[in-house]
Chain A
Amino acid sequence: MWVKAVGRKSGWSLVTLWFVLSFNFFLFRIMPGDPIALLARSQRLSPAALIEQRRILGLDQALPLQYVTYLRQTLSGNLGVSMISGTPVTSIIGSRIWPTVLLVGVGTTLAIILGVIGGIAGGWNRGSSLDRSSLYGSMVLYSTPEGWLGMLVLIVLAGTLGWFPAGGYSSGAASGMAHVTDVAKHLVLPVITLTLSYMGQFLIVMRSSLVDIKEEDFIGIARAKGLTDAMVRRRHAVPNAFLPSFTLIVLSFGFVLGGAIVIETVFSWPGLGLLTYQAIQNQDYPVLQAIFLLSSSTVIVANLLADLTYRFLDPRVEVV
């Protein structure tokens, strides 16, 4: 049964991935002004060179043939070249992965820790002033555009108070510890913004599942056994209430490579998010396509993982 479920789910993920690939292909073809016209504008190519480019990109072929070529090239790791710089898209993307993993990874982790702790504290003492203020706070943060929050953080902490650098990845400290502290200083403000924007969802999910679990009979039984309040919470309530949060956490890590597009843009953080913004500005479609493909793939994989681990952690979920 288990093998079957894994096989089914993995197969489904592959179908979704194929759907994304095809979507990508057709989106690229329906756009107004074909890529060659764009290339001609940005690079001033001669008519003969244009025809040559059209041949290289395979745009002179019939649509089904283009589709097959596209699938084959993408699956073999060839994502084309940037329309602006002419360098392979894969190497452009490769150079941007680390900053994004650093920023979004750290920010997401902090948001998870703070959100889950806040949700436990609030949900266990439902209706307390701590619970109310953290719940309202989460709702306000959820309604706040993250880019706008970043701009406020920038104005106050980098501008008025001048505690941290206003953007970028480093100020150029070359190596060793100096480089690490330099990057860390630049990391603080975007991480604060990201943590604040992301933590609300973790808090709300953890809180509401703990509130539900607290009403269950086995919690009353644990109390009747004479366990202290803290013991009941730690041993019985939280482990049972954690499942929805766990799923959300796995899914969130899938979103890391999608990048924090707006936050990276506001803080000029040179990751995949800023690359997305630059690609939009330059109408660099191959780069944009590759980013969409990359972030979709990681989210699809994270979904698969969440789905499978959920079945493992909660045996009540029937294997279908």
Chain B
Amino acid sequence: MSTPTSASGTASLSRQRRLETMERNWRLFRKNRQALVGLSILIIASAVGILAPALVSNSSIDPAAATGIPNSAPSGHAWLGTDSFGRSVFALLLVGARVSLLVGLTATAGAVLIGATIGLVGGYYAGRRIDKVLSALTDMFLVIPWLVLAIVMAAILGPTLLNVIIVIAITSWAMTARLVRAQTLSVRALPFVERARALGANDWRIITRHILPNVFPVIFANAVLTVAVAILSETTLSILGLGDATAISWGRIIEEAFSGGAMANGYWWWIVPPGLAIISVTLAFTMCGYALDEILNPKLRKR
């Protein structure tokens, strides 16, 4: 065990096993039609989000510099019409993909980081005081109406993109923490954890090297589902005017349409596209998340 050759041999073996598992999971994922539809939507949306700065020039989404005729219906000139500043709604939609996905993904990363840490620590030290405190905190955050909390926090912190991300992360980690704690509890009871401890591994090493890799699938599936919720939360905050006024997300477009009188005047082309974009991306994350949950949570697979 102590010679370098055999150590690297174990490492490559476990890497090979991991690769095999990934291949098997990918085969299962491919068989799921909903998951593939979801994945395609996500690839397209991400491509749009990444390429948005190249596709849309800054001047065409600057309210002061827009050249289109304000509030015109969809035509060959502007595919999805224009808003009341004369900006092309299609261009706004492309830019919106970038901001909405960015907020959704980073807020989820924050939530998962908080939730997974709390869940891992709580689960590993189950029954001790630290677990009791963390579980109590988790339970409280699960009970508090998170949307109202998010609104109050966003209103107090002020409307910047970073604050929106922080608020969503703080209000949506609790479910992850609970799931990860439960999973950690069951992994902790497996023989190889005891073996690692007998070999002299400390808590940090056991948690990061032995428990985390086994809990990771659950974290990942849960994270994908959390993105959907995070994007919807961003939309809600934006519609209420708590989003960043300088960052055009899909929710922000809806808010501008709402306050710009799109409803009273029937400018449906200004409102409908961003909503459909939100629905398709949220649905895509949800479908992928369900599929991953089914694949990575063997207990569910037979259903």
Which residues of A does B touch, CB under 8 Å?
12, 15-16, 19-20, 27-28, 30-32, 139-140, 142-145, 147-149, 151-152, 154-155, 159-160, 166, 211, 255, 258, 261-262, 265-266, 276-277, 279-281, 283, 285, 288-289, 291-292, 295-296, 299-300, 303
Assembled-state Cα–Cα distance A190/B78 (Å): 33
Which residue of chain B is the closest to A299 with respect to CB atoms?
Answer: B145
Which of B140, B143, B228, B239 has the largest number of chain A CB atoms within 10 A? B143
Tell me which of B139, B153, B272, B283 contacts A140 (CB under 8 A). B283
Which of A27, A148, A154, A288 has the largest number of chain B CB atoms within 10 A? A148
A residues less than 8 Å from B152 (CB atoms): 27, 288-289, 291-292
Contact of A148 with B235 in the complex, beta carbons under 8 Å: yes
The verdict on B76 contacting chain A, using a C-beta distance below 8 Å, is: no
Contact of B235 with A296 in the complex, beta carbons under 8 Å: no
The verdict on B298 contacting chain A, using a C-beta distance below 8 Å, is: no
Contact of A145 with B251 in the complex, beta carbons under 8 Å: yes
Contact of A292 with B156 in the complex, beta carbons under 8 Å: no
Which residue of chain A is the closest to B281 with respect to CB atoms?
Answer: A143
Tell me which of B144, B241, B263 contacts A154 (CB under 8 A). B263
A residues less than 8 Å from B145 (CB atoms): 255, 258, 295-296, 299
Contact A143 to B263, CB < 8 A, known contacts A151-B271, A152-B272, A276-B151: no
Contact of A145 with B240 in the complex, beta carbons under 8 Å: no
Which residue of chain B is the closest to A294 with respect to CB atoms?
Answer: B148
Contact of A143 with B235 in the complex, beta carbons under 8 Å: no
> In whole Å, how far is B156's beta carbon from the nearest beta carbon of chain A?
4
Contact A27 to B156, CB < 8 A, known contacts A19-B140, A281-B241, A295-B148: yes
Which of A15, A261, A289 has the largest number of chain B CB atoms within 10 A? A261
B interface residues, tally (CB under 8 Å): 44
B residues less than 8 Å from A147 (CB atoms): 235-236, 239, 254, 258
Contact A151 to B263, CB < 8 A, known contacts A262-B239, A289-B152, A299-B143: yes
**Residue contacts A-B, CB under 8 angstroms, 7 given:** A15-B136, A16-B143, A139-B283, A144-B279, A148-B275, A211-B303, A261-B147
Contact of B151 with A155 in the complex, beta carbons under 8 Å: no
B residues less than 8 Å from A279 (CB atoms): 155
Contact of A262 with B264 in the complex, beta carbons under 8 Å: no
Which residues B116-151 have CB closer than 8 A to chain A? 136, 139-140, 143-145, 147-149, 151
- Beyond the given pairs A144-B275, A276-B148, 8 more chain A to chain B contacts, judged by CB atoms under 8 angstroms and listed by A's residue number, are A15-B136, A145-B275, A145-B279, A148-B278, A151-B262, A151-B275, A155-B266, A279-B155
Contact A143 to B254, CB < 8 A, known contacts A159-B266, A262-B239, A296-B145: no
Assembled-state Cα–Cα distance A295/B136 (Å): 20
Contact of B266 with A143 in the complex, beta carbons under 8 Å: no
Which residue of chain B is the closest to A258 with respect to CB atoms?
Answer: B145
Which residues B238-276 have CB closer than 8 A to chain A? 239-242, 251, 254, 257-258, 262-264, 266, 268, 271-272, 274-275
The verdict on B71 contacting chain A, using a C-beta distance below 8 Å, is: no
Contact of A31 with B157 in the complex, beta carbons under 8 Å: yes
Contact of B143 with A145 in the complex, beta carbons under 8 Å: no
A residues less than 8 Å from B155 (CB atoms): 279-280, 283, 285, 288
B residues less than 8 Å from A285 (CB atoms): 155-156
B residues less than 8 Å from A277 (CB atoms): 240-241
Contact of A262 with B286 in the complex, beta carbons under 8 Å: no
A residues less than 8 Å from B147 (CB atoms): 258, 261
Assembled-state Cα–Cα distance A151/B151 (Å): 20
Contact of A32 with B158 in the complex, beta carbons under 8 Å: yes
Contact of A152 with B286 in the complex, beta carbons under 8 Å: no
Which of B152, B155, B264 has the largest number of chain A CB atoms within 10 A? B152
Contact of A148 with B144 in the complex, beta carbons under 8 Å: no
> In whole Å, how far is B270's beta carbon from the nearest beta carbon of chain A?
10
